[in-house]
Structures are given as C-alpha cells and as structure tokens.
A = this chain, B = another copy of it.
Amino acid sequence: MTVSRVLRNRGDVSDATREKVLEAAKALGYVPNKIAGALASQRVNLVAVIIPSLSNLVFPEVLTGISKELEDTGLQPVVGVTNYSLEKEETVLYEMLSWRPSGVIIAGLEHTDAARAMLENAGIPIVEIMDVDGKGIDSVVGISHRRAGLKMAEAIIAAGYRRIGFLGTKMPEDHRARKRLEGFKEGLEAAGLSLADQEFYAGGSALLKGREMTEAILRRSPDLDFLYYSNDMIGAGGLLWCLENGIDVPNQIGLAGFNGVDLLEGLPRRLATMDACRREIGQRAAAIIAGRSPSGLIGGEIIELQPLLQPGDTIRKP
C-alpha cells in the first residue's frame, strides 16, 4: 500500500519512506502494472481515438490537436484505424471498448448498428468528430461538409465560372466527401447549373492521380472552366499539370481543393481551398472528453466550426 501511495502521489507518506520506496523502485527497475491498477480502481486513463486512416494527412493533424489538449490531463490517446470500413470500425471499437477507456473520439456520424449500440451503452463520453451533418450519439464536433461544398460552389459561381467539373475519390464509405459533393451540386443547382463532368480515382499517389485525372477530364471535356477537387493533394497534382501545360490558372481554368493542408504553401501558386479546422476539431473534442469544455455541458454538446474559404490564387477575383 505504501508503495502504491508513493508511486501515485496520493495520501500521506513520510519523506524518509517515500525516498526509500523510490530508490528501491529504481533499483529494481519496477514498472507498476496498470492492468491491475485499472482493474482495482475502475479508472483507465486512456481515450480511444478511432479514425479512418493515418496517411490522409488530415488525421495526424487532428491527433496533434487531441494530444496537445490531453497533455496535462493524465489522459492518453490510443489510436485505432478503420481504413474507411464500417465493419473494421466496429471491430476496432469493440476491441478498444474492452479496455474500458475514459472516452471515445470517433470520426464520422455513420456507424453500423452494433457500433452505435456499443457507443450508446458504453457509459463514457463519446465525441463524434469531423462532421455535423446528421444525428450524433453524444457530443459532436466538426464542420458541415454539405455546407462547405455549397459555399465553395457559391464562391466559384460568384467568380464567374460556369462549366464546372468535379474530381474525387471512388469511396462510397467516405461520407464526408460524399456530403461535400452533394452540397456542391446543390449550390450549382441553385444557380441553375450542374456538374459538367466528373472523374474518380482509387488508390495510388494522390498527387499523381490528380495529374492523370485532370488530363483525362480535360481531354474529355476541354471546355471546362473550373475543376473542384475533393482534396488538396489531388488538387495540387492538377495545379501542377495545368501549369506545365500552359493553362492559364485562374483565368482559363480555376481550381479548388479541400482541407487547407500545410503542404500547399510550397506550391507555385496557392490552391484555393477550404480549411477543415482539423486541429481545432481535435482540441475541442479532447476538451470535451477531459471535461474541460468551456460550455460546462456534460455530454450532448454539438460544436459546429466554420470552415474558412481560402481563395488563394486559383480562383478569379470576382
């Protein structure tokens, strides 16, 4: 017991005894067994974080926000990756819940029924992140992708573009990309327009795919005057391709991506994009789990962040 008290800094122990304990612990290379500790105390300082991918660039940024916010709370994030599969998500969630974390941060609002049931019954704070277009289980922190797509459409139309093409991923499971496209189309329709052409890809180097798709879509529909990419990386590929092929950006063709990744800063021209508030999403979600949300609410908090349009140099000034 005394050892336990010393190592946890809890309860009164005389300095002499504390000293001796620490010394012995060091000499023996003692590492306490958190498994036993957690079982006895019914407390686990872990936060389950479930995201679709690590190679997407977006999610490491969200993680950074989470880690930073949790830093001085004694809580620790544990990451699970689903590869955009809801079945995998269910498995990963089950696995993580079986370690009885203090909270769950999970990307997206779409889950299998079983996963939803687990989340509802877990009895711990749940924060669904990235997306607010739908019904959440407990708390939600994100942006409206539908509205993001819509706003982009409005900006593009306002700048005078009319023959607009879309380039994206072939991922039925990427609901946020889908919602963005839906919002985008809605925006076009509101102006009496519709998508002039589209092109999808799956797998491979996104930058390269961006080039290839751009070439393909422009070969097929040479009269396009705007290309909306579902993410910045393929947008960057498209931008490079256009510049190399002597296309006048943004006058002949305008371009826009989505996410606002750092990477873009180094491109020859700044791609128009929309910041997805990744870092802040992570931070706010972690704050909710840590019970430090400024609202003081316990559960059920909905935070909609506003993505900012960054017009860059690839949209004509209206």
Contact = CB atoms under 8 A, between A and B. Distances in A.
Interface of A: 29, 31-36, 38-39, 44, 54-55, 60-61, 63-64, 67, 76, 78-79, 81, 94-95, 97-100, 117-118, 121-122, 204-211, 236-237, 240, 244, 262-268
A314 B263 CA distance: 22
B263 A244 contact: no
A55 B240 CA distance: 23
A242 to B, nearest CB: 12
B263 A205 contact: yes
Contacts of A98: 31-34
Given A29-B118, A39-B35, A262 B78 contact: no
A97 B31 contact: yes
Contacts of A64: 54-55
A134 to B, nearest CB: 22
B207 A99 contact: no
B55 A265 contact: no
A208 B265 contact: yes
Contacts of A122: 31
Given A31-B122, A210-B266, 6 more contacts: A31-B94, A35-B38, A35-B39, A35-B44, A208-B265, A237-B266
Contacts of A60: 54-55, 60
Contacts of A236: 266
Contacts of A206: 263, 266
A259 B281 CA distance: 31
A34 to B, nearest CB: 4
Contacts of A266: 205-211, 236-237, 240
A98 to B, nearest CB: 4
Contacts of A35: 35, 38-39, 44, 99-100
B95 A76 contact: yes
Contacts of A67: 81
Nearest to A244: B268
A73 B190 CA distance: 53
A282 B121 CA distance: 36
A55 B61 contact: yes
